Structure 1
Amino acid sequence: MGAFSIGTDSFVINGLLENIATDLHVTQSGAGQLVSVFALVYALSAPVLAALTGAVRRKHLLLTAMVTFVAANALGAVAPGYPVLMAARVVAALGAGLYIPCGIAITISITPEERRGRAIALVAGGMSAATALGVPIGTLVGTVGSWRTTLVLVAALAALSAIVLAVALPQVPTPPAATLRDRLQVAGHPGVLTALLSNSLACAGVFAVFTYIAPLTTTTTRVGAGGVSAFLLVWGVAAVLGSAVGGRAADAVGGHRAYLTATAVLLAGLTAMTVLTLPEPSGSLLSRVLFGLVLAVISVACWALPTAQNHRIAGLDSPAPTVALSLNSSSSYLGAAVGGAVGGLALRDGSMTSLTLTGTGITVTALLVLTATARLFGTGRSGTAQIAPPARTDLPTAD
């Protein structure tokens, strides 16, 4: 429930940009920076906060993070103007960046080893469910009523989650935490560094476009606000499929090959989306069907990336695999922040073709990096990396 509320909050703004821009008298590009700033703060704060709060009791830390998140969304719902809403997004990102890693760590500590994978998948499933249900429903609520109502609902759901956690979650031991220096050392591992870089680029390619999905959809298909929610539902359903496909592909051909393939499909989807923006929008049934199909392909490829990425990072001989995996979440949000900012610059002239071309170009760069660094990620059928570990191997593995 907590992950669901955070996942919804992370992406629902994308579908409400036009409403927010109109209400707060800013451009759609300016409204899009609400998404980019949230992602950037999450990316930069998550590893720092994890290191600074390593000695705090886990249950107290989790509840503090969720209460902070609730307060931030309540503030955003009553924000009188753009600066206050931006400040609320920053605080919400701080709470989210603290909550998700802590929640995963608690899940690991209270679950028997033989059921650990399913337990983690259940928590992570909150994020996937947010994409499939929370975002389209939140967007529909925001368009029928107000974007402020959407933030109130997110805050209410998060508050309910905090109450349940306070009552039902037991106290758990505080694990040894990796310091910020340890995390930076892990990030400097050649395989980890290139994996994080390529992942940031791939995410930037997606979010250069997806951050502005509302204006892209309305301009290209001539649908109204309700139609945007429908297309976001298509995105969400395809996201669930993409997660499953990414896992199966990683098991079958190895993490790096699966990631490379997903990025290539992502590039093809963004290229097709660019083609759809070239003719004068007609709003015909055919154009809407094609838009939905291309959007589904992009979503499947996008959501196949995280599973494949975790698989290839886990296969590296890094000194602290758990820390490397936690840094991956930051790399995804960093890519989303950069993509949203660059997409906003491309959208200044109002051209959807410029927007999608920007996402396509970034994805080409990601594909080039993946190809150039393929040797770092193993050659065996299993995709296990063949990198010699650094000299120091005694870093703590508990996140």
Structure 2
Amino acid sequence: MPVAVRQRARLPAWLLALVFTTFALATDDYVIAGVLPAVSAGLGVSEAAGGQLVTVFSLAFALGAPVASVVCATWPRRRLLTWALVLFAAANGAAAFTTSYAVLMGLRVLAALAAAAIVPTAYAVATALAPDSGRGRYLALVMGGLTGSLMLGVPIGTWVGGAFGWRATFGLGGLLGLVALVAIRRTLPEPPPADAMPVRERLASLARPRVVLGLLGIVAIVLGSMMLMTYLAPFLRDLAGAGPAALGWVFALAGLAGLVGGQLGGRAADRWGADRALIAGIAGFTGVMGVFTACWLLRPLPLPALLPLLLVWAGVSWWVPPPAQTRLLALAGPAGPQALALNSSAVYVGVSGGGAVGGLVLESHGSGWLPAVAAVVELVALALFWAAGRSR
């Protein structure tokens, strides 16, 4: 292989450090679901109360990300990542020793606020340091840390909790934060200084119709995808008679397919342009939803026969976010880093909306309608991005 090709293919160490950082944060967020019964029993609260540890993390992240992005807009990125990771690791380390539910709730808020400062900054740094022809691919890789946490981090964290107790799971979160901190400090150069746009002008840029429409498009993309993801268990039970054991393998393989799909979506955004890659991803998603709807008419079907379709669905679901983020950056202009923070909040809104809207569809019409409604929502997302592009 020629030297130039090898250099082009080699990923910079700082990018791998950012990927590991998002992996660590997402693992800490999602892993509580795996140790929830043990946490609830250890603190003497109900599982419903224990589940609020997940809710408060998500809420603090969603509210904290845009605020942190505006307040910290001119801070040196490397320093911001350093101190936010210190706070994240300290909050998890303290959580491993607390015996109070209220204290643990407060520590989860601190960890979430640290994550709210880190994740958008990681996206902004990847964008600032990426070559012009690799912006979508670099964003997809950093986002891949989130997917990787579902495939690797959460199972490991759950196993650690089962083997050594739930406190060890929080200790693992703190350890991952420290490893990310060392990796960032050793590899990340200081990115170019952020645009010194006044806060008022920065907020005005984010309030422009094209940015608002783009963010609504992100909400719709995630909402449509999460409608089926959230209720995949009842859908596959009704379609193929799949039980919990089979669903475990489905989720693992879907996570792998999603990781591949995200990388392909990022590459497509670089090679084809964000608009064409976005259209291709949403067209693929809509087509898969149409096939699922047709399969519903032929039920019951054997699960192995549906597996290729499930993998394609997972791949195109994760294909879409990288070009959508790249398009949002273009719409936001100089306020791109703050738009990425609002993008993180929009993702959480979409996740919540997917569960709510999908639940309404499930109760009123049954699981067979989920793919069709999800396809309509994704087409609405495409229309919102089209309107954003035409807005002045």
TM-score normalised over the length of structure 1: 0.70
CA spacing shift, 1:102–1:210, aligned 2, 3 Å:
same
2:218 and 2:196 map into 1 onto residues whose CA distance is: 25
- CA offsets 1:323-373 (integer angstroms, 9 cap, x no match): 444432331123224445x38987xxxx99999689768736623633654
CA spacing shift, 1:189–1:60, aligned 2, 3 Å:
same
**2:348 corresponds to which residue?**
333
- Which sits farther off after the overlay, 235-244 or 321-330? 321-330
1:258 and 1:307 map into 2 onto residues whose CA distance is: 12
1:175 match: secondary structure: coil
Unaligned 5+ segments in structure 2 are 1-19
2:229 and 2:380 map into 1 onto residues whose CA distance is: 22
**2:324 corresponds to which residue?**
309
Counterpart among 253, 256, 260 of residue 282 in structure 2: 260
1:95 and 1:266 map into 2 onto residues whose CA distance is: 37
2:297 and 2:34 map into 1 onto residues whose CA distance is: 22
Unaligned 5+ segments in structure 1 are 280-284, 378-384, 390-399
**2:5 corresponds to which residue?**
none
Q: Establish whether residue 5 from structure 1 lines up as the match of residue 20 from structure 2.
A: no
1:110 and 1:369 map into 2 onto residues whose CA distance is: 33
- 1:250-289 mapped onto 2 (5 Å cutoff): 252=272, 254-264=276-286, 267=289, 286-287=302-303, 289=304
2:194 match: secondary structure: coil
1:142 and 1:272 map into 2 onto residues whose CA distance is: 42
- CA offsets 1:234-272 (integer angstroms, 9 cap, x no match): 232011122134346655571442353255257558869
1:244 and 1:126 map into 2 onto residues whose CA distance is: 11
Asked whether the 8 Å contact 1:63–1:162 carries over to 2, the reply is: yes
**2:83 corresponds to which residue?**
64
2:166 and 2:251 map into 1 onto residues whose CA distance is: 16
CA spacing shift, 1:372–1:126, aligned 2, 3 Å:
closer
1:33 and 1:45 map into 2 onto residues whose CA distance is: 17
2:75 and 2:266 map into 1 onto residues whose CA distance is: 34
1:32 and 1:269 map into 2 onto residues whose CA distance is: 35
* Deviation of the 1:47 alpha carbon: 1.8
* Deviation of the 1:53 alpha carbon: 1.9
* Deviation of the 1:49 alpha carbon: 0.7
TM-score normalised over the length of structure 2: 0.71
- CA offsets 1:139-169 (integer angstroms, 9 cap, x no match): 4444555444333222212112213434554
- Which sits farther off after the overlay, 101-110 or 43-52? 101-110
**1:367 corresponds to which residue?**
378
* Deviation of the 1:95 alpha carbon: 0.8
Counterpart among 185, 188, 202 of residue 221 in structure 2: 202
CA spacing shift, 1:300–1:75, aligned 2, 3 Å:
farther
**1:296 corresponds to which residue?**
311
1:315 and 1:187 map into 2 onto residues whose CA distance is: 12
* Deviation of the 1:83 alpha carbon: 4.3
Q: Establish whether residue 376 from structure 1 lines up as the match of residue 387 from structure 2.
A: yes
Asked whether the 8 Å contact 2:213–2:385 carries over to 1, the reply is: no
1:7 and 1:209 map into 2 onto residues whose CA distance is: 21
Asked whether the 8 Å contact 1:267–1:363 carries over to 2, the reply is: yes
1:88 match: secondary structure: helix
Which amino acid in 2 is paired with 1:151? F
Which amino acid in 1 is paired with 2:324? Q
What is the RMSD computed on CA atoms of the aligned residues? 4.5
**1:134 corresponds to which residue?**
153
Asked whether the 8 Å contact 2:29–2:54 carries over to 1, the reply is: yes
2:348 and 2:153 map into 1 onto residues whose CA distance is: 19
**2:8 corresponds to which residue?**
none
2:151 match: secondary structure: helix
Counterpart among 46, 71, 80 of residue 26 in structure 1: 46
**1:93 corresponds to which residue?**
112
CA spacing shift, 1:60–1:355, aligned 2, 3 Å:
farther
Identity %: 32
1:56 match: secondary structure: coil
CA spacing shift, 1:267–1:11, aligned 2, 3 Å:
farther
Counterpart among 190, 195, 208 of residue 176 in structure 1: 195
2:258 match: secondary structure: helix
1:201 and 1:150 map into 2 onto residues whose CA distance is: 33
* Deviation of the 1:188 alpha carbon: 3.1
